[in-house]
Amino acid sequence: MQAFTTIHSIAAPLDRANIDTDAIIPKQFLKSIKRSGFGPNLFDEWRYLDHGEVGMDNSKRPLNPDFVLNNPKYTGAQILLARENFGCGSSREHAPWALEDFGFKVIIAPSFADIFYNNCFKNGLLPIVLSNEIVDDLFGYEDEIVIDLEQQSVSTNSNTYTFEVDGERKRRLLNGLDDIDLTLQYEDEIRSFETGYFKQHPWL
């Protein structure tokens, strides 16, 4: 997992509440357990005018011109702005995989579904909870936003807002540590234990 750095980006405004994980990555794309390759099908039913299936050439599919992520203005945006209860529905980890694979690093919303919120941290995404009033302000802001995880701040040209984040989750993001990386920090201790254990139990 890549270490989280300070993000300078415009925000793609997805002005919808209760966006569930099936909208984020539809069920037909859940056949793979690789973490990569889901970005082209992020919000598939909203981005394209036809029905998507695994293996289709997305470059030849008709785009929905009214969907925000198809607006060239937001190409390369690393921040997604949404309304309350983002990531509700089933607990599929493919949802943060798709968002991350598309290029998003930060999601800002007034609230998140609990399981989705937890999965974001495990996959290098930073979900930021801000009040409805602040989110309203950000929806009306079209310039670059700065996300500083170290300072726990969201800054525009005229305002700086602070957000809460668990200290251990913050440390993991800043250092690019997923669950496997955390385990590997104790690799020497694990090897030492295994060596001693098999000496005591040679029949195993």
Q: How confident is the model at residue 184 (pLDDT cuts 50, 70, 90)?
A: low
Q: Residue 22: what pLDDT?
A: 96
Domain assignment present for 112: yes
Give the number of domains in the chain.
1
Domain assignment present for 35: yes
Q: Residue 58: what pLDDT?
A: 94
Domain assignment present for 18: yes
Domain assignment present for 179: yes
- pLDDT > 70: percent of the chain: 91
Half-sphere exposure of 12 (CA within 13 A, CB side): 22
Distance, in Å, from the CA atom of 18 to the CA atom of 112, rounded to the nearest integer, reads: 9
Half-sphere exposure of 35 (CA within 13 A, CB side): 10
Distance, in Å, from the CA atom of 120 to the CA atom of 196, rounded to the nearest integer, reads: 37
What residue numbers bound the domain in which 60 lies?
A: 7-200
Distance, in Å, from the CA atom of 128 to the CA atom of 169, rounded to the nearest integer, reads: 12
Q: Which residue has the higher pLDDT, 183 or 96?
A: 96
Domain assignment present for 99: yes
Cα-based angle 17, 97, 81 (whole degrees, multiple of 5): 30
Q: Residue 1: what pLDDT?
A: 80
27-81 residue pLDDT tens = 999 987 777 899 999 999 999 999 999 999 999 999 999 999 999 999 999 999 9
Domain assignment present for 2: no
Phi, psi of 80 (to 5 degrees): -110, 130
117-159 residue pLDDT tens = 999 999 999 999 999 999 999 999 999 999 999 999 999 999 9
Domain assignment present for 164: yes
Distance, in Å, from the CA atom of 39 to the CA atom of 105, rounded to the nearest integer, reads: 13
List the CATH number of the domain containing 46: 3.20.19.10
Q: What is the mean pLDDT of the chain?
A: 91
**Cβ atoms of residues 43 and 23 within 8 Å:** yes
Domain assignment present for 1: no
